[in-house]
Structure 1
Amino acid sequence: MAVVDACDEWSPLREVVVGTAYGAMFPDEDRRMIEATMPREHWDEFRPGHPFPVWITEAAEQELQAVAELLESMGCRVHRPKRVPWEGLGGYCATMPRDSLVVMGDRIIEAPMAWRSRQHELLAYWPLIQQWRQAGARWLPADVDLGMELLDAGPREPGPRWVIGEGRPAWDAADFLRLGPRTVVGQLSHVTNRSGIDHLRARLGPDIQVHLLQPDDPHAMHIDATLCPLREGLALYNPDRITPDTMRGTPLDGWELVPAPRPEPNAGPPPRYMTSAWLSINLLVVDDQHVLVEAQDEKLQTLLTSLGFTPLPSPFRNVQALGGSFHCATLDIRRDRRTWTT
């Protein structure tokens, strides 16, 4: 049995990393990046040396620990990242392992992330990566000069004016979803450029196809609040950003595509500093019956039940305040092997 082996978003989960909220700092990024991707009412929070409120990070850590314990009770082996002093590194956090790492088959691939504040995140996962490498997993580092400028250099993709150019390859792992051992779907965004797509394709090799979707989202940054595969042939989608028509001619053509219920506006606290309410569909599929969903998202729980799933309601609002939800805050290391039809 391979120690690292995951090729889709829905096969039964056996081993997973659950992030930590320890020491989370607001990302210190160029104002142009913040204005392109973050909610306007929170722009001024993104400044050097500014930690998230302690009451949020402490509550978020409790929520993450509860999810780790729930997954362990369901037979999953759970890992947690190393605690890193992000303030001294100008960094962000290790709450969202899905943003910086991709697992495809027996490969762990590091994303050459666009944000300067995220370029040290590997420190939190490196002890685990060393462990998996020693057990036979393949490690593919980014191998990109992360110091090269992105905002002011290189040509830009036509269409939406992404804030990054093509000064170097850049992509975030959360801009991609796996639909089987030979199929990945993703998007261009404010953190993923065309040369980044080429970089990922080279890492995956010729046997795996990367297909680009084109959501209608001028603030695009991560696709897992736009599309959520639940099992082979079935996915939830965000009707504000994408439609079944826009998925024709893609690997999702022929799937049952279900619009997600419109989420309730965040009444807070805590604030959603970094995301829209559509973070509601950032779900973790545990197996063909169980899906982790935020405890207050009752409409979504009802929909999942109607689709044959058993929702696992878990409080996660404080984790969401840090910029992600169940899919972002986990990295599936091993899922059961199965036979794919695509």
Structure 2
Amino acid sequence: MSDTVRVDACDEWSPLREVLVGTAYGAMFPAEDRRMVEATMPREHWDEFRPGHPFPPRIVEDAERELQALAELLEELGCRVHRPRQVPWSGLGGYSAAMPRDALLVMGDAIVEASTAWRSRRHELLAYWPLVQQCRRDGARWLPSAVDFNIDPVGAGPPSELDDWVIGEARPAWDAADFLRLGPRTLIGQRSHVTNRSGIENLRARLGGDVQVYLVRPDDPHAMHIDATLCPLREGLALYNPDRIDPAALAGTPMADWELVPAPHPDPRTEPPLYMTSAWISMNLLVVDGQHVLVEAADDKLQTLLAELDFTPLPLPFQNVHALGGSFHCATLDLHRDRRARPS
């Protein structure tokens, strides 16, 4: 296999050829403004989010095994897999490199660094930088963030357009996981507690005027990342979270005419703890191609639904990764999806 890294991905469903899979190494609870924690995190875990507090070692070790199993399965399916560099987050006030989809957005041949609202993520690029450098050498466009992380957008600056967001407009802020790709020039996304109005304009400007960004407004007071609200499975078909969004909210977007299927309500669970998400993390799926979809091994209802929709579910244990704040979509970053290939 060639050492060249190909960057070319502009949707969520074309056959996956090259991918970055995160690492749980050294994961720390994000130490953020208490207002951000209370706006986005489950109430029973608020006190875990303090400086210098690592996730339980057993959960981190088991999450790393799950991520390694994911990497090996993707390789068996014909994908070229990259892993981040291990970084000692405890000395950087950082979070982890388990969720590359939060910090980086690939659109076509461009890799865009998100202007994250969380200051605990300001060093996350260290884990991905060797791969980014290789991608640049091989012709990818690199669009770095240029925000001043000394400016905290939480509760600062002009009031938000909607007063229920904890984030203000003191600086542009956006997380890549607040957006989904629907084609070479089309994104659908949301404002949230980590993505503000000026952040969306910043993203639009960096991608260029020919890229359209459509916004939806989920009914979610804790909104942070859209990939447990909408999940495109293939062009024209998507799962939606019936607790968070009405299909009517997609009017005026390219998904207005899609077949929209409600995802089954997830079963509650307590172990390992969902420190950073709700049980709807079950919707955070990874489409490998037009046939295969990665899904949590214990989620029988979702596997049954995918089979009814003529997909082949690929069940894999991932609940310890859930404890760190994401699932298959969050824990990966598509580098190359082959739009020319027919689904296998």
What is the identity, as a one-letter code, of the residue corresponding to 2:304? Answer: T
Give the equivalent residue in structure 2 for 1:236: 239
Residue 132 of structure 1 pairs with residue 138 of structure 2: no
Distance 1:248 1:10 in 2: 22
Shift of 1:150: 0.8
Distance 2:298 2:142 in 1: 38
Task: Work out the percentage of aligned pairs sharing the same amino acid.
Answer: 75
Distance 1:147 1:251 in 2: 37
**Is the CA contact 1:160–1:218 (under 8 Å) kept in the aligned structure 2?**
no
Please, which of 253, 257, 271 is the counterpart of residue 254 of structure 1?
257
What is the identity, as a one-letter code, of the residue corresponding to 1:238? Answer: N
Residue 156 of structure 1 pairs with residue 176 of structure 2: no
Please, which of 163, 173, 176 is the counterpart of residue 170 of structure 1?
173
**Is the CA contact 1:6–1:105 (under 8 Å) kept in the aligned structure 2?**
yes
Give the equivalent residue in structure 1 for 2:322: 320
Distance 2:314 2:85 in 1: 27
Deviations 1:161-220 (A, max 9, x none): 111100000000000000000110000000000000000001111111000011000100
**Is the CA contact 1:102–1:111 (under 8 Å) kept in the aligned structure 2?**
yes
**Is the CA contact 1:227–1:235 (under 8 Å) kept in the aligned structure 2?**
yes
Q: Normalising by the residue count of structure 2, what TM-score does the alignment of the two structures yield?
A: 0.97
Residue 113 of structure 1 pairs with residue 116 of structure 2: yes
Residue 210 of structure 1 pairs with residue 213 of structure 2: yes
Q: Normalising by the residue count of structure 1, what TM-score does the alignment of the two structures yield?
A: 0.97
In structure 2, runs of 5+ residues without a counterpart are none
Task: State how 1:48-127 maps to structure 2 within 5 Å.
Answer: 48-127=51-130
Shift of 1:2: 7.7
Give the equivalent residue in structure 1 for 2:298: 296
**Is the CA contact 2:119–2:152 (under 8 Å) kept in the aligned structure 1?**
no
Shift of 1:157: 2.4
Count of residue pairs brought into register by the alignment: 339
Shift of 1:243: 1.2
Deviating above 3 A after TM superposition, structure 1's stretches of 4 or more consecutive aligned residues are none
What is the identity, as a one-letter code, of the residue corresponding to 1:68? Answer: A
- Alpha carbon RMSD of aligned pairs, Å? 1.3
Shift of 1:283: 0.3
Match of 1:229, SS state, is: strand
Give the equivalent residue in structure 1 for 2:335: 333
Shift of 1:295: 0.2
Shift of 1:120: 0.4
Shift of 1:160: 4.8
In structure 1, runs of 5+ residues without a counterpart are none
Shift of 1:132: 0.6
Shift of 1:269: 1.6
Shift of 1:30: 0.8
